[in-house]
Amino acid sequence: MPTGLPSETRYRAMRRVTVTGAVTNVFLAAAQVVGGLLAHSQALVADGMHTLSDLVSDIMVLFAARKANEAADARHPYGHGRIETLATVAVGLILAGVAMGIILDAGRRLLSDGGLLSPTPLAMALAALAVVAKEGLYHYTMHVARRVRSNLLKANAWHHRSDVVSSLVVLAGVGATLLGVPSMDAVAAILVALLIGRMGAQLIWNSAQELIDTGVEPEEQRRMLRAVGALRDIRGVHALRTRRMGGTLLADVHVQVPPRISVSEGHRLSEAVCRALRGVHEELGDILVHIDPEDDQLRAPSSHLPGRAQILDRLQRAWAGVPGARYVEDVVLHYLDGRIHLELRLPLAAVGDAAGARALARQLIAASREVEDIGQVQVFFRCGDLSPQDGA
């Protein structure tokens, strides 16, 4: 089962931090764009457009957070986490488009006569304000993103951090322009745009990796395998596969266990495997553990053998000449090494004494071995009275 915060709690946390960022971005974008126009700074206007793109991404985050945290349903049994991934791609595309527009406009100004602007000191003050505000948003958003394990919030946090860098570039560009280098404001605008474009490309690339089910890094996978291999009663571990869905990591793994343990013990071992994996990677949600009684990495030696119903039908026919066969209470099948090994259980009261038990056991073993695909046969007798279905 997935771990972590309940979906509704997670959504409320994501909504709160995103609304805080959106409100901040509204006031900051307005101050940067209007201030950039009044202070004659193209770089500050470009930075304001970057902040405005944050506002658009905030709106998308709110929508995606609501949908992604909805409970799983019949058509989406794994939940809706990939909506976060798609929204992250959309944020990346918005950033790339904003970057291209800024570069084209700044390039036109650099290449045209009289197109350069002359910023005033107001532009520097607004750029400094943007640095402080965006750095605060970065730390707040990243803190919540780690707590609720949301890659979408982490992307939005880095979006805020990219604004810090771009505002620092604006600060430097405006300062250089005020010192007598008029082209630096436009150059700073282009540098800001390149930073925006780089961030957009990273978001798109990382989300694409998730959409094509890219697993964890090799070293992380080795750590997970070592954690499982260190468990008692685990004879081997292989075929570990991982993939991400929103803020959750999904995994499936094959473990080899002692071949004659019970189904319930195998289930218990699978739960131990899940605990060991989550001890290595806290983002793990659903884990599928495949229990192997033998090493099937290169071949499946028992896959061609018939199923239980068919084997029992053959055994009943083979036991037709053994009168005591009607007392067989339980037949346990072990599919190992390309053969079916049997464990037969009967009440001792059905045969009366040890000599009768040995005789019946020999008869059952001989008759069972006449059946195709049967390997080792073991017969066990339990003490106690006959149950009602055992007959008279």
Q: What is the chain's length?
A: 392
63-76: per-residue pLDDT in tens? 766 666 666 667 76
- Is the pLDDT score of 358 beyond 80? yes
Q: Kindly state whether residues 203 and 222 are assigned to the same domain.
A: no
Q: Kindly state whether residues 89 and 157 are assigned to the same domain.
A: yes
Q: Kindly state whether residues 188 and 67 are assigned to the same domain.
A: yes
Q: Kindly state whether residues 103 and 194 are assigned to the same domain.
A: yes
Tally the C-alpha atoms within 13 A of residue 66's C-alpha that lie toward its C-beta. Answer: 9
- Is the pLDDT score of 115 beyond 60? no
Residue 225 located in a structural domain: yes
The pLDDT value recorded for residue 308 is 92
Domain span at residue 172 reads 7-211
Number of Cβ within 10 Å of residue 113's Cβ equals: 5
Whole-angstrom Cα Rg for the chain = 34
Residue 129 located in a structural domain: yes
The pLDDT value recorded for residue 173 is 65
Q: Kindly state whether residues 236 and 373 are assigned to the same domain.
A: no
Q: Kindly state whether residues 245 and 101 are assigned to the same domain.
A: no
Q: Give phi and psi for 59, each to the nearest 5.
A: -65, -40
The highest-confidence range among 9-13, 64-68, 206-210, 302-306, by mean pLDDT, is 302-306
Q: Kindly state whether residues 316 and 167 are assigned to the same domain.
A: no
Q: Kindly state whether residues 29 and 70 are assigned to the same domain.
A: yes
User: For residue 236, what are the β-bridge partners?
Assistant: 256
The pLDDT value recorded for residue 65 is 65
Six token digits for residue 97: 């488009």
| Percent above pLDDT 90 for the chain | 23
| Cβ-based burial of 329 (10 A; exposed 0-12, middle 13-18, buried ≥19) | middle
Handedness of CA 76, 78, 81, 87 (dihedral sign): negative
Give the long-range contacts of residues 174-178, CB within 8 A, separation 24 or more.
174/41, 174/43, 174/44, 174/119, 174/123, 174/124, 174/127, 175/124, 177/41, 177/118, 177/119, 178/119, 178/121, 178/124
Residue 148 located in a structural domain: yes
DSSP-assigned states of every residue in 244-272: EETTEEEEEEEEE--TT--HHHHHHHHHH
Residue 301 located in a structural domain: no
Question: Of 146, 178, 211, which residue sits at a domain end?
Answer: 211
Question: Of 179, 211, 243, which residue sits at a domain end?
Answer: 211
Number of domains in the chain: 3
126-179: per-residue pLDDT in tens? 778 888 888 898 899 888 888 877 767 777 787 777 677 667 766 766 666 666
Residue 302 located in a structural domain: no
Q: Kindly state whether residues 117 and 176 are assigned to the same domain.
A: yes
| Cβ-based burial of 74 (10 A; exposed 0-12, middle 13-18, buried ≥19) | exposed
Residue 300 located in a structural domain: no
What is the spatial distance between Cα 284 and Cα 242, in angstroms, rounded to a whole number?
9
What is the spatial distance between Cα 42 and Cα 189, in angstroms, rounded to a whole number?
7
Looking at 55-64, 174-183, 204-213, which range is the least confident one? 174-183
Q: Which helix (H) or strand (E) holds 64?
A: helix 42-68
Number of Cβ within 10 Å of residue 151's Cβ equals: 22
Residue 360 located in a structural domain: yes
Residue 1 located in a structural domain: no
Q: Kindly state whether residues 168 and 68 are assigned to the same domain.
A: yes
Strands (E), 187-299: 236-245, 248-256, 284-292
Q: Are 81 and 248 in contact (CB under 8 A)?
A: yes
* Cα–Cα nearest to 273, from 239, 302, 308: 239
The highest-confidence range among 87-101, 210-224, 234-248, 337-351, by mean pLDDT, is 337-351
Query: Which CATH number covers residue 262?
Result: 3.30.70.1350
262-292: per-residue pLDDT in tens? 889 999 999 999 999 988 887 787 889 999 9
- Is the pLDDT score of 117 beyond 50? no
* Cα–Cα nearest to 336, from 301, 370, 369, 306: 301
Question: Of 211, 237, 255, which residue sits at a domain end?
Answer: 211
- Is the pLDDT score of 88 beyond 80? no
What is the spatial distance between Cα 8 and Cα 12, in angstroms, rounded to a whole number?
6
Q: Kindly state whether residues 225 and 204 are assigned to the same domain.
A: no
Q: Kindly state whether residues 236 and 369 are assigned to the same domain.
A: no
